[in-house]
């Protein structure tokens, strides 16, 4: 009997241990399942965040912010219809590809890294800049007036430089022009400050004292949308500036003539839409600019307006100084959106949302002539801006010509 009882006790202990082991195994499996589910969720959230960040960067690019894409469109049309010389083609493709790959992915980081150094740099230069401005004012008075007063045509002489403070250098947060937006209706922050750019006769927005918009259009090629844009401008008696490349002038000379007839300015976007900061030789830089001016004069009998927009928004101090030496004002932008891809156009709602929420006093607006959306909405968009209290200015108001 004693042996039988012992045997029963052993069986009960074995069953108890077996149940405990089963419970432990089940608990372990549940813990592993929860862990794997949590990892999957974290990965999913990380992927979603990455996609959201990429979308936001694509929206902020616009010139990059659309300029890289516009470059590819120009190149594609150029090759299809007439081709360019081998050297220009190779350089153009390399420059445009770099613009696409650079994009806005570095914009926010570059702005953040560069903002602090710009602020420190600016604070150290304030006294020197004020002294230099005072000296410049005295020199102008002695010379008999300001730049515009000394020039019979109303614009400064080609090659005339402003006397920048000794030891001062322009600093860009990135060579790809980019913007950082704050509250709706407020002016954005650019890769360089408006005050620093002014030393090179470069601008990306006007002052914030008046609700004025400067309309600009980049023209890489023609696909049927320029005419409705011109019609909308004419309806609102609004004047704009059209930045043209060589291919546009070669293939759409009648539109260039109409721009002049309608009272618009036509500026220089370079002949081949290259990555201009990579061109260190002044003769090569000058040829890119002069070839556009010469062809425009041949087509219209008029001189090209002295406004330059760097292809893809790529720039550095040397690039700006070269343009200044040739007598150009460099015009960036403070408002744009991703409108350049003819095969992936934004909806009307998307366009209105971006262009009305981010508009601000002194805005230089960049739109592309190749955008079907722009051609369809511009009349209504101009009306909306007018209802918001804005008027449409012209670049000479900004540059002081």
Query: What residue spans define the domains of the chain?
Result: 1-61, 63-399
Phi, psi of 214 (to 5 degrees): -105, 115
| Segment 130-137 mean pLDDT | 45
Q: What is the pLDDT of residue 160?
A: 62
HSE-CB at 381 with a 13 A cutoff on CA atoms is 27
Bridge partner list, 330? 202, 308
Q: What is the pLDDT of residue 67?
A: 52
Q: What is the pLDDT of residue 45?
A: 47
C-alpha torsion angle, residues 158, 364, 258, 70 (rounded to 10): 90
Q: What is the pLDDT of residue 33?
A: 65
User: Angle at the Cα of 359 (from 355 to 361), degrees rounded to 5?
Assistant: 160
Paired tokens of 283: 């003769």
> For 317-334, b where at least 16 C-beta lie within 10 A, e where not — what string?
bebbbbbbebbbbbbbbb
Assigned CATH for 63-399:
3.20.20.370
387 has a pLDDT exceeding 60: yes
109 has a pLDDT exceeding 50: no
The Cα 401–Cα 399 span in angstroms is 6
Tell me whether strands 189-190 and 179-180 are parallel, antiparallel or unpaired: antiparallel
Catalytic residues: 218, 368
The Cα 353–Cα 376 span in angstroms is 15
Name, of 75-84, 160-169, 272-281, the range with top average pLDDT: 272-281
HSE-CB at 181 with a 13 A cutoff on CA atoms is 21
Paired tokens of 367: 């739109």
| Segment 58-80 mean pLDDT | 44
> For 250-284, b where at least 16 C-beta lie within 10 A, e where not — what string?
bebeebbebbbeeebbbbbbbbbbbbbbebeeeee
pTM for the predicted model, two decimal places: 0.67
Place of tokens 């990380």: 46
Three-class SS of residue 290?
Answer: helix
């Amino acid at each position: 009997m004693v042996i039988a009882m012992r045997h029963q006790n052993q069986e009960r202990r074995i069953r108890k241990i077996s149940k405990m082991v089963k419970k432990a195994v089940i608990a372990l499996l549940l813990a592993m399942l929860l862990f794997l589910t949590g990892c999957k969720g974290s990965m999913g959230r990380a992927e979603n965040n990455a996609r959201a960040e990429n979308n936001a960067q694509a929206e902020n690019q616009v010139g990059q912010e659309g300029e890289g894409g516009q470059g590819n469109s120009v190149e594609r049309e150029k090759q299809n219809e007439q081709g360019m010389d081998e050297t220009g083609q190779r350089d153009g493709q390399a420059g445009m590809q770099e613009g696409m790959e650079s994009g806005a992915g570095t914009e926010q980081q570059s702005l953040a890294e560069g903002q602090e150094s710009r602020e420190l740099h600016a604070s150290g230069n304030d006294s020197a800049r004020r002294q230099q401005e005072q000296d410049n004012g005295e020199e102008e008075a002695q010379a008999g007036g300001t730049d515009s007063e000394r020039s019979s045509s109303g614009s400064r002489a080609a090659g005339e430089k402003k006397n920048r403070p000794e030891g001062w250098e322009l600093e860009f947060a990135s060579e790809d022009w980019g913007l950082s937006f704050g509250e709706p209706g407020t002016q954005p922050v650019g890769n360089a400050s408006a005050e620093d750019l002014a030393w090179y006769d470069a601008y990306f927005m006007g002052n914030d004292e008046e609700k004025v918009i400067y309309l600009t259009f980049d023209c890489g090629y023609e696909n049927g949308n320029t005419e409705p844009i011109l019609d909308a401008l004419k309806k609102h008696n609004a004047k704009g500036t059209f930045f043209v490349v060589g291919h546009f002038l070669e293939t759409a000379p009648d539109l260039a003539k109409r721009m002049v007839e309608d009272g618009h300015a036509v500026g220089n976007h370079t002949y081949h839409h290259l990555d201009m900061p990579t061109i260190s030789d002044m003769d090569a830089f000058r040829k890119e600019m002069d070839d556009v001016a010469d062809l425009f004069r041949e087509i219209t009998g008029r001189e090209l307006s002295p406004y330059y927009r760097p292809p893809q928004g790529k720039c550095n101090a040397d690039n700006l100084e070269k343009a200044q030496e040739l007598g150009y004002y460099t015009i960036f932008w403070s408002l744009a959106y991703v409108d350049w891809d003819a095969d992936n156009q934004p909806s009307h709602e998307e366009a209105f949302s971006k262009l009305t929420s981010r508009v601000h006093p002194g805005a230089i607006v960049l739109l592309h002539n190749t955008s079907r959306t722009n051609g369809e909405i511009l009349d209504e968009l101009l009306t909306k801006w007018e209802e918001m209290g804005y008027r449409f200015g012209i670049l000479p108001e900004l540059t002081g010509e």
